[in-house]
Amino acid sequence: MDAVCKKLRIEPSLVGSVRIIRQSLDARKKPQLFKVQTVAVIFCDRNTARRMRAKHKLSPYVFPAYKPAVPGSKPWENPFVVVGSGPAGLFAAYFLAMQGYRPVVFERGADMAERIQDVEAFWEKGILNEESNVLFGLGGAGTFSDGKCTSRSKDPRVHQVLQVFIELGASPDIAYQNKPHIGTDVIRAVISRMKQKIEDMGGKFFFHSPLVGLDVEDGWLKKIHVEGHEPFAVEGLLLCTGHSARDTYAMLALQGIELVEKNFAVGLRIEHPQSLIDQLQWGESSTTLGVGAADYKLTYQDPVYQRGVYSFCMCPGGSVVNASSESGYLCVNGMSYAKRDSGRANSALVITVDVDRLEGKGPLKGLTYQRQLEKKAYELGGGGFAAPIQSVRDFLDNKQGEASPSSSVRPEGQQANLQALFDPATNECFKRALLDFDAKMPGFAGEQAVLVGVETRTSSPVRIVRNESFASVSVRNLYPVGEGAGYAGGIVSAAVDGIKAAEKIMEQYRRY
C-alpha cells in the first residue's frame, strides 16, 4: 500500500485496497534481482480513479470472474460417471458435485496413502505395481509431479482452478505468481482434501476400479463395465483417463470410438547441479539471494531436419523420477517438493515427433513408438527398472563412459549409451541442440550435465475426437476430457478442460 501511494503520489485515505495480480523476477541486472509486481488499485471513489487513470496512464482491470453454468432442465435417472481422478477428472467431479450432480468416480489406481506406499516401493526396490504408480491413482499424473501451475490460457477458469488449490491448502501466492508452483508434497495433501470435499458434497469414489468396456446402443452409452463391479448404468460418462492408459485407448478403438493420431514429443531428461543453473540465470546462488531455485527455457530449431528441440517441464531443485507404468517398459519424468531444495535441476529435452513419419498405421501408432522407446530404455538400463544414464559429454562423443555419472533417479541409474534409443537423425538433432544450448548457457552441456532416458509421456499421441458439446463424435453421452483426450496438456489445462466438460453436463441436465 505504502509503495503504491508513494508511486501514485496519493493520500492512503483515497485508496481502498491494493491487490497483487502478477509477480515475477527481473534478472537482467543479475546478480541484482528485482521483484516486479503488477497491482490492481481500488480507489475509494470514481473521481479519484478517473484522475489517477489519466495522470498515470493506468489501465482498467477487471478481476477474473467465473460464472457457473445455468442448469438445464433434462431429467436424469442414472449417475454421471467420471473415469479417472487426475486433474481433469477431479475438477469435473468437484464442479459437478458443487452444483448437486453427485458424480461417481471410478479410478483404476489406489487412494493416496496406499499409492504413496506403492510408489515408494517402486523407487526403493524397483517393484512396479502396474495399477498404482506415478501415473495411476488418486490425483493422476499430477500427484507425483513438480506441481507447476502455469498456463498460457486467459480463460477465467484458470483463476478458478488456482482458487480451489488455495482453498484446499496451497499457498495464496500462486494466485499472482508468474510461475506458480505447488510441489508434490503440497499437491498430495490438496488432492486428498479435494476428494474428501467431493464426497462431502455427495460424490462417490471407487478405487482399484478400471473401466474395461462400454455398452453402446444407437449411439448412446447405456452401461459401463468396470472391473470388480456389476455393469453400471450411466447418464453420461466423462472419460478422464490421461495419456498413459494405453489399454483404455485400445478398448476404445475396438469399440469403434473415433480416435486420431496427433504429434507429440519424446526425448531425455537432463540433470545439472542447481548451483550451476542459479549461477547462469541469477549470477549467484539462489540461497544467497534469498529467491527460489532458478529455471530455464530453451528452444532450438534444427536447420537440417526442420525439427524443434526444446526444454520441457523444467524442475528447479527437484529430482528425476522413474515414472514407468508397464512391466518391461521404462520412462522418466521430473518432480519437486514445495521447497525446491534438492540441489539438483532437471528438465526434459524433447524433440517433436511428426506422426505421419512414423511407421505403422492407425491412430495408435504414436503409442507403439512410445512403447518401443520405453522397451529399449528398460533393456539399456539392464532390467529391474534401473534408468539408463550417460554424461552429456559421452552422449556427444557417442560412447559409453567409464565412471557412472551422478543422477537423482531412483531406484538407480545404469551407465549406457543413450544414442542407442533413437535413430541417427534424432541423435544428430539432440547433439546440435545441446551445443546450441551450451552456447546460450555455458556449462549446459559441460562435464556436470547428465542425461537420463527416456522421456516419452510429454503429451498425448492420440485424440479422442469430440464435438463442440464435448461429446465424442461416436457416442453422444461419452465426454472425452483432459490430456488423454488430446485436448489439454498440464495440470491447469487438464483441470480447466474438466470444468468445461462439467459445465456441458450442467447446461443440459437439471440439478439433483
Ligand X SMILES: Cc1cc2nc3c(=O)[nH]c(=O)nc-3n(C[C@H](O)[C@H](O)[C@H](O)COP(=O)(O)OP(=O)(O)OC[C@H]3O[C@@H](n4cnc5c(N)ncnc54)[C@H](O)[C@@H]3O)c2cc1C
In the complex, the residues that contact ligand X under the rule CB under 6 A are 83-89, 106-109, 134-137, 140-142, 144-148, 210-211, 240-242, 244-245, 248, 313, 321, 323, 333-335, 482-484, 488-492, 494
Minimum CB–partner distance for residue 226 and ligand X (Å)? 7
Residue number, 158 or 396, with CB nearest to ligand X: 158
- Shortest reach from residue 361's CB to ligand X, in Å: 24
- 236 vs 334, beta carbon nearer ligand X: 334
Answer whether 313's CB lies under 8 Å from 307's CB: no
Provide the minimum distance between the beta carbon of 20 and ligand X in the complex, in angstroms, as a whole number: 22
C-alpha span between 179 and 57 (Å, rounded): 27
401 burial via Cβ count (<10 Å: 0-12, 13-18, 19+) = middle
**How many angstroms separate the CA atoms of 141 and 454, rounded?**
17
- Residues 255 and 274: their CA atoms lie apart, in Å, by 48
Comparison of 43 and 144: residue with beta carbon closer to ligand X = 144
Q: Report in angstroms how near the CB of residue 227 gets to ligand X at its nearest.
A: 8
Distance of CA 211 to the CA centre of its chain: 23
User: What are the backbone dihedrals phi and psi of residue 20, each rounded to the nearest 5 degrees, phi first?
Assistant: -75, 130
Task: Compute the least distance from the CB of residue 200 to ligand X, in Å.
Answer: 21
- Nearer of residues 41 and 141 to ligand X, judged by Cβ: 141
Report the distance separating Cα 294 and Cα 321, nearest Å: 20
Residue 460 CB, nearest approach to ligand X (Å): 9
Nearer to ligand X, 214 or 276 (CB): 214
Instruction: Give the cell for residue 71.
Output: 442448469
Measure Cα distances from 506 to 72, 96, 218, 464, 500 in Å: 6, 7, 23, 22, 10
Q: Prior bond to 411 cis, omega within 30?
A: yes
Taking the complex as a whole, how short is the minimal distance between the CB of residue 165 and ligand X, in angstroms? Answer: 12
Residue number, 323 or 351, with CB nearest to ligand X = 323
Q: Which is nearer to ligand X, 35 or 152 (CB)?
A: 152
Backbone φ, ψ for residue 42 (5° rounding): -105, 115
In this structure, the number of other CB atoms found within 10 A of the CB of residue 20 comes to 14
Nearer of residues 278 and 497 to ligand X, judged by Cβ:
497
How far apart are CB 300 and ligand X at their closest, in Å? 22
Residue 180 vs 381, nearer CB to ligand X: 180
- Whether residue 262 contacts residue 366, with contact meaning beta carbons closer than 8 Å, is answered with yes
The pairing of beta strand 478-480 with beta strand 462-464: unpaired
Q: In the bound complex, what is the minimum distance in angstroms from residue 29's beta carbon to ligand X?
A: 29
In this structure, the number of other CB atoms found within 10 A of the CB of residue 136 comes to 27
Rounded to an integer, what distance in angstroms lies between the CA atom of residue 480 and that of residue 504?
A: 12
* Grid cell listed for 262: 496427433
Determine the Cα–Cα distance for residues 70 and 200; give it in Å rounded to an integer. Answer: 22
Pairwise CA distance, residues 387 & 419, whole Å? 14
Q: How far apart are CA 468 and CA 87, in angstroms?
A: 21
| Shorter beta-carbon distance to ligand X: residue 316 or 388 | 316
Smallest separation (angstroms) from ligand X to the CB of 39: 26
